[in-house]
Each structure stands twice: as C-alpha cells, then as structure tokens.
Structure 1
Amino acid sequence: MGSGSSKMSKDEFNKLKDETHFEKREIHQWYKGFMKDCPTGSMSKEDFQNIYRQFFPFGDSSAFSEFVFNVFDKDNNGLIDFKEFIKALSITSRGTLEDKLIWSFELYDIDGNGRISYQEMLSIVTAIYKMVGTMVKLPEDESTPEKRVDKVFSRMNKTKDDELTLEEFRIGSKADPTIVSALNLYDGLV
C-alpha cells in the first residue's frame, strides 16, 4: 500500500469512494494536491512532521506527529501513500464517533497489543502537551501529563489493571464531553 504509484486507476478511485466518506470528485481533488506535494506518490515521516510544525508553530509537534504518522502508515513501510492518507483523513474528519474512537485507540495503543497501558497514554499525552505548548490553559487537575493520565485512568480503567481495553476506552471516552468534543473537532472542515 505505501509504495505509491504516480497514477491511480478509475477502479482505485471508485474503491476509495466506497471505503471513505468522500465523493469521487473530492478524492480527485485531494489526490491532485497530494501528488503536487508528494510527487513520488508517498509522504515520508519528515514530510508529515513538517506539516504538523506548520499547524503548531509554538510547540514541539515532532513526537505527536510521529505517533499519528504510525497510525496513518497501515503497512508499516515508513511512508504514507495516498490511499493510507485519504482513508485516515476520512475517519478523522468525517467518520462516525465509533470510527474515531477506534482510530484514537490505535493511536494510544503504541505497541499494537490491543490494550493501552498507562505508559503508552502518558507518552501520547506528553507529546500533546509539548505540541500545544502554552497555547492552551489547562485546569489544575490536568496541568501536567501525569495528572491528565491519572484522571483518565481513574475514570476509564474499571479493572484497575493499569491497561485500557478498547471497550473501556470507548465507554470512558463517550462519557467524557471533552473527549467527544475533541474527536469531533474536525467534522465538516474537510
């Protein structure tokens, strides 16, 4: 998937239409832009990090963008091709809450073992805090990554085993209005 070719067939466009929340003309527009920015047909981790730097100029987005890159790069070849890009964009911008929760779970489940450990969540939350820098004023009980993760785990980890299952993550996320709001942040923007 990540090897990327310079041309996509009509069948490939039709398949992407069926697999995403985009219309065929939108996929064509995204494809043209992607190929303009990535003429090789794929985006490297460095390219991806440069894009994040533009959106978060006042913080350090390198760690977080690497985590996101790894979720986009479904075939784990170190590159994001157009198909990987458009499918992830579809989920994050137009997917259902359920789609977004599964995608987010994959982001936090760094080692891919089907569970989010306390340390994995701490790694992601620390990266988010570094990325937003001082742009966001946080309540005292979330003023550090550790406090935020402690708060999340105290609400979500019903088995108290310092790991979250997908089900615990889904139920806990749906019960937290700030998480639901964050997951729906990009709705309608794309």
Structure 2
Amino acid sequence: PDSLVELTRTARFTEDEIKRIYRGFKAECPTGIVKEDTFKGIYSQFFPLGASSGQYAHYVFNSIDLDRNGSLSFEEFVANLSILLRGTVDEKLQWTFSLYDINGDGCITKEEMKEIVTAIYELMGKVPEGCEEEQAIKEKVERLFEKMDRNCDGKITLDEFIECCTKDESIRRSIAVFDTIF
C-alpha cells in the first residue's frame, strides 16, 4: 500500500492485519487494482452453486468504488472492510444506505429498493422468474417502504433509513454479525 502508516491511522486494523489483508489482496489482484469483472469473480466464490451474485456484486462494487473510476485500489478496499468489520452501527448503516442508493442522489426510491431486493433474491438462489416471484419482491419493497418512508414522500432518506434500522432489533442483530467475522 502507498502508506502503511496512513492506513493504520485511518482504518481500524493493526499494521499486521493490514499486511495480511494486503498479501491476500495481491494474491488475487497482482496489479494492486481490482476491476469490476474480477471483483464479481471473487465475490461469486462466497455464494452457493447456482446462486447468481453478479448483479449484487455490481452494486457492492459501485458502493466500494469511492472515486467512481471503475476500479478498486487496496486503500478503497481496506476503507470499506474497516467500516463493515469494525465500524459503528451508524457507519455500517450509512454504507448499507449507499449500497441501496444506486444513483447516489441521497435517497432510496422504490425502484432502487426493488433492484437491490431482486439482486438479493438472486444471490440467495431464489431467481425471480415468474409473476409469483415478481409479486413477492414487489410486496417486500412495499412493506419496507411502509416501514421506512416516515413522511410518505415516496423515497427513503438516510435519516429515515438509520432511524428505522436502529429501532428494528432484527436489523441490528444482522449488522452485529459483521463484528465477529475478522
């Protein structure tokens, strides 16, 4: 990495942890840069056979690619890993919000929510093919919007998202799972 001292200061990892992460990163990406196709290939290894991770990996890649240049540096990778594994609940929720806010305009629309929920269904091997699956996704999005869109304006702001998620015990538990991974 460009500056091990700087990364140790900004990320929530020790110098040894960063070195270990870097070795793994360089093994997968010898150039030190990850393009989206490579990222999708690596990401797909984490999901069961038959599950389609491509679309979800695309959204994750875009939320990690902080400078929107189409590639991930080691520093971008570590910054996001630091948030997901060692960040506060609010930081993790902000990251999740950025994942759902596909166009980056500061709010989540029903269409964006539908795209992410569909990608999650595909990731879990539940490919929405027929009308029944499409209806299930639509109903899921409607329920989420009913719960999160406090002022009923058809979009979810970061504040609405964080407020709803921090009050929901099941969401808090699912976020806490990341705390034990590394």
Amino acid at match of 1:163: K
Match of 1:74 in 2: 66
Q: Could you tell me which residue of structure 2 aligns to residue 157 of structure 1?
A: 149
Using the size of structure 1 for normalisation, the TM-score is 0.86
TM-score by length of 2: 0.90
Q: Is the 8 A contact 1:59 1:132 kept in 2?
A: yes
CA contact (8 A) 1:63 1:127 kept: yes
Aligned residues between the structures: 173
How far apart are 1:97 and its partner, in Å?
0.3
Consecutive unaligned residues in structure 2, runs of 5 or more: 127-134
Distance 2:84 2:70 in 1: 20
- CA RMSD in angstroms, aligned pairs only: 1.4
Query: Which residue number corresponds to residue 93 of structure 1?
Result: 85
Q: Does 1:181 align with 2:173?
A: yes
Which residue is equivalent to 1:19? Answer: 10
Cα pair 1:157 1:168 within 8 Å, conserved: yes
Which structure has greater helix proportion?
2
- Supply the distance in 1 between the matched residues of 2:140 and 2:43 (Cα, whole angstroms): 23
Match for residue 139 of structure 2 among 139, 147, 157: 147
Q: Hey, which bits of structure 1, 4+ residues long, moved more than 2 A?
A: none
2:38 paired residue number: 47
**Structure 1 residues not aligned, in runs of 5+:** 1-7, 135-142
After superposition, residues 58-137 of structure 1 pair within 5 angstroms as: 58-134=50-126
Instruction: Give deviations 1:7-38, integer Å, cap 9, x for gaps.
Output: x34xx111111111111110011111111211
Q: Is the 1:72–1:80 Cα contact (8 Å) retained in structure 2?
A: yes
Quote the Cα distance in structure 1 between the aligned partners of 2:136 and 2:175: 21
> C-alpha distance in 2, partners of 1:85/1:167?
26
